[in-house]
A and B are shown apart, each in its own frame.
Chain A
Amino acid sequence: EAGVAQSPRYKIIEKRQSVAFWCNPISGHATLYWYQQILGQGPKLLIQFQNNGVVDDSQLPKDRFSAERLKGVDSTLKIQPAKLEDSAVYLCASSTRDRFLEQFFGPGTRLTVL
């Protein structure tokens, strides 16, 4: 079974630029999560999708962050414009609808904002 795929693995941009991350979850997983992990901290949930609907986006900075999962499969997270404090690893995870505690994580995208 293929795992959660993410791209790119690394991205370096300057502040005020835009950036987008892509995630393809495990086949058949209805729930998709985006986490932000700042250096020295644990992952923090940004947004959660159930199929193509948003379940929880309470910690997503909506003035600059957006995410979509149009066909209920892969997802894109965008930051526009980026700030220095957005430097972090962005992790995508997926789970089945009935076993949502066992989340399977992708390798993450390391974003550096200069």
Chain B
Amino acid sequence: DQQVKQNSPSLSVQEGRISILNCDYTNSMFDYFLWYKKYPAEGPTFLISISSIKDKNEDGRFTVFLNKSAKHLSLHIVPSQPGDSAVYFCAPPWPGGYNKLIFGAGTRLAVHP
């Protein structure tokens, strides 16, 4: 039972344009969402998060939008840079115990010049 779905395995974007990575979830009890970024041969690193009491959180070039009614969130990267090429994971904590992160399958972003 996949509670977190990232339906686009890969995304290719031109440098300078916007990258939009999507995440859908089924458990309405999720109330916090994190995005992690992973480069090859490295572990994931925390990127940005959003609480369910908000619908938007911005950090520099990265903005996450949350639509609770649709159980959907998206990560926007503007402008995209070649160094953003990585795998991005959506990872809400398990409801009721904020220790276990439930990772989606990830979306591989390629930003080309």
Contacts and interface: CB of A to CB of B under 8 A. Distances in A.
Q: Is chain B a partner of chain A in the same complex?
A: yes
Interface of A: 4, 31, 40-45, 48, 55-56, 91, 93, 100-108
A63 to B, nearest CB: 21
Given A101-B34, A101-B93, A48 B100 contact: yes
B95 interface: no
A23 B15 CA distance: 37
Interface residues of B, number: 23
Interface of B: 4, 9, 32, 34, 41-46, 49, 89, 91, 93, 97-101, 103-106
Contacts, number: 54
Contact of B103 (A40, A43, A55, A107): A43
A104 B44 CA distance: 8
Given A31-B99, A103-B101, A93 B91 contact: no
